[in-house]
Amino acid sequence: MSVNIRTEREGAVLRLIIDRPAKKNALTTAMYDAMTTALTEAATDSAVRVVLIHGQDGDGGASVFTAGNDLGDFMMNPPRGEDSSVFGFLRVATTFPKPLVAAVAGPAVGIGTTLLLHCDLVYAAPSARFQMPFVNLGLCPEAASSLLVPRLVGPQKAAEWLLFGEPFYAEDAYRYGLVNEVVHEPDLLTVAMQRCEALATRPPAAVRLTKQLLRAPDADAIQATIRTEGAHFIERLTSPETAEALTAFMERRPADFSKFE
């Protein structure tokens, strides 16, 4: 495993831990690759029945999920096609055959929110801060969020979340069905683990089949949307708008889009 992605097995539950607290668990290409490897192995390892994904905050807690894609990587090492690390990860995560559970606290930015659309169960602390800031980075929705967010929350709320790219919090995420339960932060991992362990006691083939049937109606549309969004996203990464947004982030100043048409 990469130093910033760790796995821990507890019985039949595999914990996939995002562990780069100094950078708010921002995801690099090496981290996507490590998560892809972990999920690919877990998919066929009969000892693993459920995967729980959560962040590490540097103090032994899980108060940071992820700040999304590493913005330095977007500048220096951007995805260039469908064989890039982020797309490899999305393919594996969106087709993972066993239950994928997330425990979310603190920032859940970009893919930190869109990944949840592909998790079967999501538990969040009141501190969870969800955000899909793609437009503010000159980018566009990813991970089939342009398909799945409107379906989940309706077109107006989806437009609000994706056009403003502002954060929203656990209560809203719960109300709109992105999150199963809001859990007092100190209990978050315990509760999420208990739900994973409960799932792991169910007949595994029936669990896998139920997940497959739940996901089947949208499966092709999701993969097609990921490809379409991905092609635009890659193109946008070299746009002047994105250059301004990323430079502004690095320079810790507000981005200025007034000169763009």
**What is the binding site for ligand COA (CB under 6 A)?**
23-24, 26, 67-72, 107, 109-110, 133-134, 137
Nearest residue by C-beta to ligand COA? 110
Whichever of 137 and 192 has its CB closer to ligand COA, that residue is 137
Comparison of 84 and 210: residue with beta carbon closer to ligand COA: 84
Q: Closest approach of Cβ 26 to ligand COA, in Å?
A: 3
Structure tokens at 177: 């069905």
The C-alpha atoms of residue 94 and residue 99 are separated, in whole angstroms, by 11
For residue 167, what are the contacts with CB-CB under 8 A and spacing of at least 6?
129, 130, 131
Q: How far apart are CA 181 and CA 191, in angstroms?
A: 10
Shortest Å distance, C-beta 245 to ligand COA = 8
Quote the least distance from Cβ 73 to ligand COA, whole Å. Answer: 7
To which H or E segment does residue 179 belong?
A: none
Distance CA 138, CA 221 (A): 25
Report the residue number, 79 or 133, with the smaller CB distance to ligand COA. Answer: 133
> How far is it, in rounded angstroms, from Cα 203 to Cα 89?
27
**To the nearest whole angstrom, how small is the minimum distance from the Cβ of residue 41 to ligand COA?**
27
Instruction: Give strand pairing partners of 168.
Output: 130
Nearer to ligand COA, 121 or 245 (CB): 245
